[in-house]
Amino acid sequence: MTKRKTKIRAQKLFNNLADMMEKDPEETNNEVSLEVCSLEEIQVSKGLFSTTFEEAQESGENPRMKKFRFQLLHQWLVQNFEPCRIADIGGGKGFLTYLLQKSGWEATVIDPVYQALPEKYKDIGLDKRIKISGDERVPHINKEFETYHAKYFDLLVGMHAHACNVKIIDAAAKFNLNFVLLPCCIIDEPIHPMPGVHWLECLADYAIQKGFKLRPFRLNFRGQNNGFYSVGNTRHTNTT
């Protein structure tokens, strides 16, 4: 796929998400039926739902920014939300949590595998390398994310959080929270889109049917850089 076609497809996906999110959630619930299919069907048609390595190389986004995706998401969060108790779901080494804590947020990683923070990183604002002390630690829940974890937070974030995207939406609905999702692959998720429906569109439709009002966003790095976030829910689920 050419660079131009890849950019067009990415823009079309973003526009489709924006169009979906402009609809009234109640109208969407009445008009849209979420289509899902089996894992076997997905495997046959997997090219429709994931960006190949070659396509990623030709995405048209800044080719050097992917390794800075945590810094980019950190900047975006700080610009769009007030500091709060945030769960970094599937957060790996906890680098996003580390950056958010430095910005005054109460951030916690939820990931079954504990990993130490990186030794250093580049501050893309100051354009210089920063060392992280070996003594630095971030709060870490060494478990797979489950719905009950959400009650201790104000905002749920999942960037390429495999097997957690639907759980995040469900947990946010149960405890009336907002969430930010930057999905990647379809791995161990309870729903799958039908051929011709992108995974992001499937997830967005699922969230809309849960009553969420959504907005799309995009980060400047190569690869799957489209995401969406909630700006409230038309329903208030009883959390007791």
Digit-coded pLDDT (tens) for 88-119: 999 999 999 999 999 999 999 999 999 999 99
Q: Of the candidates 223, 221, 226, which has an alpha carbon nearest to the alpha carbon of residue 68?
A: 221
Question: Residue 58 has what pLDDT?
Answer: 43
Q: What are phi and psi of 27, to 5 degrees?
A: -65, -40
Q: What are phi and psi of 123, to 5 degrees?
A: -80, 110
pTM of the model: 0.80
Q: Of the candidates 84, 237, 110, which has an alpha carbon nearest to the alpha carbon of residue 171?
A: 237
Domain assignments of the chain as residue spans, ordered by start: 3-233
Find out whether 90 and 111 touch, Cβ atoms under 8 Å: yes
Q: Which option is the CATH number for 3-233: 1.10.10.1590, 3.40.190.10, 3.40.50.150, 3.10.270.10?
A: 3.40.50.150
Q: What does 126-147 look like in DSSP terms, one character per residue?
A: TTEEEE--TT----EE-S---G
Q: Is 34 left (phi over 0), alpha (psi -120 to 50) or beta?
A: beta
pLDDT in tens, 200-240: 999 999 999 999 999 999 998 878 899 999 999 877 644 44
Confidence of residue 14 (pLDDT cuts 50, 70, 90): confident
Q: Which residue reads 């076609």 in tokens?
A: 5
